[in-house]
Amino acid sequence: MELKINNQIHQVDAPDEMPLLWVLRDLLGKKGTKFGCGQGLCGTCTVHVNGQPMRSCITPVAVAKNSEVTTIEGVDEQGNHPIQIAWRENNVPQCGYCQSGQIMSALNLLSNNSTPTDQDIDSAMSGNICRCGTYPRIKQAIKDAAKVMNQNKGAKS
């Protein structure tokens, strides 16, 4: 089947029910998306399908056919999206393993809500577990990124 991932077309030979996560990781070698629970409980495997955050560990690859899939590798070629920069400026990661999923969830939040409150952030990020405990820094990074993204928007308009 044909998949469009990070604006590139890929051909994969996979059964329809194979989770998108394992297609990305094992068939296409895109290892930035991580496995955490296999049940859609921890958010580690979050990717976007047509701009919507999806838990790729429970999303059959068939769902992604004729869709735009975005993974952590597609957020910004150099890693310079304001969210990624804010993540680094706040020294968010500890082990780093869940951060791809965290960033993908944060990206979705900020594309729908440019000025999230603490509660908005809690609710958007509640599906993403970080066992190291980087939540306070994630929250701060989201707020910092929101500011920069709003300034950028202002500058463009």
Partner 1 sequence: MNTFKLDRREFLTLTGVAGGGLLLGCSSSSNSSQAMFVKNNQAHKLNIFVSVRPDNRVDIINHRSEMGQGAKTGVIQMIADELDVDWEKINVVQGLGDKAYGSQNTDGSTSVRKFYSKLREIGASARTMLEQAAAEYWQVDVSQVQAKQHKVFNLTNGNSLNYGDLAELAAKQPIPNVAKLTFKSKEQFKYITKPVPIVDLHDMTTGKATYGIDVELDGLLVASIERCPVLYGKVKSFDASGAKAIPGVVDVINMPETVKPVVFSAGSGVAVIATNTWAANQGRKALKIEWDLGENKDFDSEQAFADMASKAQNPAKRSAEKGDITAGFAKAEQILEATYKVPFLAHAPMEPPAAAALVTDTSCEIWAATQNPQAVMDNVAGMVGLKPEQIKVNVTLLGGGFGRKSKADFVCEAVYLSKKLGKPVKVVWTREDDLKMGYFHAGATAFIKAGVDKHANITAWQQRSVMPSIKTTFAPSTDDLLDVELSLGFNDIPFQLESLQGESSGYVNPVRIGWLRSVSNIPHAFALHSFVDELAHANNIPTHKYLRQLYAEDRLIDPITDYGFKGYKNYDESLQRHPISTQRFKAVLDKLEQTVNFDEALPAGQGWGLAIHRSFVSYVGVASKVEVKDGKLTVLAMHSVIDCGVAVNPDRVESQLEGAMIFGLSLALMGRIDIKQGAVSQSNFHDYPVLRMQQCPELSVAIIQSDAYPGGVGEPGVPPVAPSLVNAIFTATGKRYRELPINQYLTV
d(CA 102, CA 78): 18
Both structure tokens of 87: 């993540």
Size of the site for partner 1 (CB under 8 A): 58
Residue in the block written with tokens 């310079």 = 80
* Min separation Cβ 132 and partner 1, Å: 5
How close are the terminal C-alpha atoms of the chain, in Å?
40
Candidate list 4, 97, 143, 148; residue touching partner 1; CB under 8 A: 97
- 16 interacts with partner 1 by CB under 8 A: no
- 42 interacts with partner 1 by CB under 8 A: yes
Q: Which of 62, 68, 64 is nearest to 17 (CA)?
A: 62
- 34 interacts with partner 1 by CB under 8 A: yes
Both structure tokens of 29: 């070698």
d(CA 9, CA 102): 25
- 149 interacts with partner 1 by CB under 8 A: no
- 36 interacts with partner 1 by CB under 8 A: yes
Both structure tokens of 48: 């976007």
**Per-residue string for binding with partner 1, 119-148, x by CB under 8 A?**
--xxx-xx-xxxxxxxxxxxx---------
**Per-residue string for binding with partner 1, 47-86, x by CB under 8 A?**
------------------------xxx-xx--x----x--
> What does the DSSP 8-state code read for residue 74?
G
Q: Which stretch binds partner 1 (CB under 8 A): 31-39, 62-70, 107-115, 147-155?
A: 31-39
